[in-house]
Each structure stands twice: as C-alpha cells, then as structure tokens.
C-alpha cells in the first residue's frame, strides 16, 4: 500500500497532528516493542476483513505488531494463524507463523524478534498451551510483554470495549479506583469480568509502563493514532502527589510537561510565584497548579502530557483538585481543545474574545471579581 495513501487514511481517522505525534512515538521505539494484538476465534472467523485492513495499514507504516492467537481459547489457534497468514500473503504483506512452545519462552521471543527484523508480522499461535489454565497463558503474555518491552496490548473484540449492564461503555478504566465497582455481580458479562481480572494481573506483572485496550477492529486505528482513542483503555492508575506550594517539585520536569501540553515555553518567573498547592503525577505526565488570590483559589495551570491525553490522568488530577478546592476559578483560550471539557466541569462561565473564564462553587458576589482577576492575570509563557 502506497505511503501517501496510508497517510491520507490516517488523517481521515483523526487530526493530522495526532497521527503525526503517535506515528513519531511508535517509530522511535524498538520495532518489536510496538504492540501485541490479541485475536480470539470469533474475530478470526467473523471480523478478519477489518483486522486484515488494519494490519496492511500498520505494515505500510513500518509498524509490525505481534499478533497473538489462542490466548483465551487455544484450540485451533494454528488454523487461525494460517487463515490470517493467507489473507496477508494474498496482499503481499510479509508475515510469519510462529508456533509457541507451552511457556512462550526465550526461543519464541527470539523467533518473534527475528521475524520483525526481517520486516514480517509475527503470527504467534498458542495452541501448544491448550492444557494450561488461562492464568498460566496470561503469565506467558506478561513474560512476552516484558521480554519485548511491549508498550501496548490490544484485545480485539466484537464489542466497542468493556460493555456495562447499565450506562455507556467507559473510555478509561483505572484499576486503582474502578475495579471493585466493575467486578460487582452483574456489571460486566462473565467473559469481560474474567478478562478484567486477568488484565489487572497482567499490568501488575509487567515491570514497565504498559497500556491495555479492549476495542473493536473497526476502531483500532482510531485507538492507536488519536488522542481521544477508542474502546476502553485499562490502566493501573496513577500516584498523584498533592504538595504545598512548590515543595518537592522538579521545575525542569514540570517545564517539560507544560511545553508538551501547551506547545509553548513557560517563563522562569512562573516558578517564583506564590503557589498554594501543586498536584503532580508521579512521572510528570500531568499536573495542576493552584494559586491563592484575594478573590478565591485560581487554577493557574492544568496540563497533561500530549501523548498521555486520553489516558484518564487528567480526570484523576481533576478529582483531587475539586476534592481539596470546593470553590475556585480558572481560564482557558477559546481555541484550546480542553475548553469543551471544562464546560462540562464548571458551574458557570463567561466568554470573551481572548479567554473563557470558568468557576466552580463560587458565591454569586465573588463571580464578577473572579472574572476580572482571571482576565487581568499575566501570561505565564515566553513569547
């Protein structure tokens, strides 16, 4: 598939800036660490056409995921791998079938790495592990992801993601806060509840940062190449520190975070300001900074690293800010992508050509002074 056709297709999936961002991130990784796609028998039987198209697009971009067959049901995984291979070979997409031994050991890892080095998509069959329990097979998946330093595991599903018995499909699940609720009787189907338990153990076993997504094949490329993603992203959850003032904050890391989130350089004098509290994700992938003013607390900065947007980090930080500050105000540029989200979080807002000013919990007599204060606040960025 021609590279320009592939690029045009990605631009139709989402914003060009998004696809360029993620394509650059994926290409900067080791080729064998890109992703593991888990296909079940139903997907191979009834949804192979969109999967086949996704793999053609990814191969055209030089991205070679490991395709894992038989994780949930090992029976006939060899035949499933042969079927996927036949579809890819027909379109000239290089692939190699790898029949894993029972424990998916070093020989299997080496075979996968060799296939990727030759520019082929590895189709890994777990039929040999049919006598093992599903727990054992997921331990093998954890070992494989660890050995390859895989950054993303994607479970392709006929459903849009994790489907709840009541309510919409969640876009993000934080295992730190959502596990008990989702595993309560009747919330998820039996199969999806089992999958969530296994994913929890998978994320606990893999030592590096790993994301897991459940998504329909029709939405796979949107999941991979857009900030908002698709399906349900399952993550361990973040440790977020609430610190008084600038205490314990690394200015260099926070400056890099702001540059990633806003595309601009923060001024040095920003770190001399008298700040009430900072909320910082442990890896500096997100942060919020609250300043005391004579009117009310002012949320002067709320930022999430660009490639982490859509992972739920912002929501976790926001919940802590609103817990500690029942009343505060803030502002955002009208063209800022997060402004629409702010509209859903505020009690009220005032629109001006240069800024939208938002507030939560403010008494009526404080709203007008808060608006004036927000509009008069200086820019914190250079240039």
Residue by residue, DSSP assigns 49-66 as: HHHHHHHHHHHHTT--PE
Residue 290: pLDDT above 60? yes
Cα distances (Å, whole numbers) of residue 22 to 5, 33, 184, 258, 367: 18, 14, 35, 19, 40
Euclidean distance between CA atoms 311 and 213, whole angstroms: 10
Euclidean distance between CA atoms 94 and 84, whole angstroms: 11
Residue 237 in tokens:
């959850």
Give the lowest-confidence range in 7-16, 47-56, 75-84, 211-220.
7-16
Euclidean distance between CA atoms 162 and 195, whole angstroms: 10
- In this prediction, residue 383 carries a pLDDT of 63
- In this prediction, residue 370 carries a pLDDT of 95
Across residues 137-163, what is the average pLDDT? 90
Residue 375 in tokens:
């509009």
The DSSP symbol for 269 reads G
Please count the helices (runs of H) and the strands (runs of E) in the chain.
14, 15
Cα distances (Å, whole numbers) of residue 136 to 27, 69, 139: 32, 15, 5
Q: Do domains 3-235 and 240-376 have the same CATH topology?
A: no
Burial class (CB in 10 A: 0-12, 13-18, 19+), 118: exposed
- In this prediction, residue 11 carries a pLDDT of 61
Across residues 89-114, what is the average pLDDT? 87
Per the prediction, the chain carries an average pLDDT of 86
Domain 3-235 class in CATH: alpha beta
For the domain spanning 240-376, the CATH number is: 3.40.630.30
pLDDT per position as a tens digit, 216-245: 888 888 888 776 678 888 888 778 888 899
Q: Are 237 and 177 in contact (CB under 8 A)?
A: yes
Across residues 152-170, what is the average pLDDT? 86
Euclidean distance between CA atoms 285 and 271, whole angstroms: 18
Q: Are 95 and 88 in contact (CB under 8 A)?
A: yes
Across residues 316-320, what is the average pLDDT? 85
Euclidean distance between CA atoms 314 and 371, whole angstroms: 24
Note the pTM of the prediction, 2 decimals. Answer: 0.75
Residue 371: pLDDT above 60? yes
Cα distances (Å, whole numbers) of residue 61 to 5, 164, 303, 353: 11, 35, 30, 41
Give the lowest-confidence range in 62-66, 201-205, 208-212.
208-212
Strands 286-291 and 277-281 turn out to be antiparallel
**Model confidence at 291, in pLDDT bands (50, 70, 90)?**
very high
pLDDT per position as a tens digit, 171-183: 888 887 788 888 8
221: closest CA among 2, 22, 3?
Answer: 22
Give the length of the chain: 383
- In this prediction, residue 101 carries a pLDDT of 79
**Model confidence at 311, in pLDDT bands (50, 70, 90)?**
low
- In this prediction, residue 310 carries a pLDDT of 59
The DSSP symbol for 155 reads E
- In this prediction, residue 103 carries a pLDDT of 75
26 vs 241, more confident? 241
Across residues 28-45, what is the average pLDDT? 87
**How is the chain split into domains, by residue range?**
3-235, 240-376
């Amino acid at each position: 598939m021609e590279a320009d056709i592939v690029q045009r297709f990605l631009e139709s999936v989402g914003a060009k800036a998004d696809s360029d961002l993620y394509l650059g991130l994926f290409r900067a990784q080791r080729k064998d660490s890109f992703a593991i796609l888990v296909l079940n028998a139903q997907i191979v039987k009834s949804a192979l056409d969109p999967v086949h198209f996704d793999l053609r697009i990814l191969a055209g971009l030089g991205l070679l995921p490991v395709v894992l067959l038989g994780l949930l049901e090992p029976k006939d995984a060899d035949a499933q791998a042969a079927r996927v291979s036949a579809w890819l070979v027909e379109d000239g997409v290089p692939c190699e079938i790898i029949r894993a031994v029972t424990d998916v050991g070093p020989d299997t890892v080496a075979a996968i790495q060799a296939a990727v080095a030759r520019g082929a998509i590895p189709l890994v069959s777990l039929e040999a592990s049919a006598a093992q329990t599903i727990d054992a097979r997921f331990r093998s998946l954890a070992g494989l992801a660890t050995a390859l330093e895989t950054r993303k595991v994607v479970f392709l599903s006929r459903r849009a993601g994790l489907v709840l018995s009541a309510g919409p499909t969640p876009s993000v699940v934080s295992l730190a806060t959502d596990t008990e609720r989702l595993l309560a009787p009747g919330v998820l189907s039996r199969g999806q509840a089992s999958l969530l338990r296994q994913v929890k153990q998978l994320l606990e076993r893999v030592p590096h940062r790993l994301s897991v997504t459940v998504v329909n094949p029709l939405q796979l490329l949107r999941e991979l190449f857009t900030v908002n993603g698709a399906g349900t992203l399952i993550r361990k959850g973040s440790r977020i520190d609430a610190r008084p003032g600038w205490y314990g904050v690394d200015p260099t890391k926070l400056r890099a975070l702001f540059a990633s989130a806003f595309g601009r350089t923060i001024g040095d004098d920003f770190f001399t300001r008298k700040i009430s509290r900072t909320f910082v994700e442990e890896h500096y992938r997100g942060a919020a900074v609250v300043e005391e003013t004579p009117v009310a607390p002012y949320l002067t900065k709320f930022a999430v690293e660009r490639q982490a947007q859509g992972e739920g980090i912002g929501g976790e930080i926001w919940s802590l800010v609103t817990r500690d500050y029942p009343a505060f105000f803030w502002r955002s540029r009208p063209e800022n992508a997060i402004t629409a989200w702010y509209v859903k979080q505020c009690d009220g807002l005032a629109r001006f050509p240069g800024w939208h000013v938002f507030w939560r919990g403010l008494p009526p007599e404080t709203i007008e002074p808060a608006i004036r204060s927000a509009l008069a606040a200086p820019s914190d960025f250079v240039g």
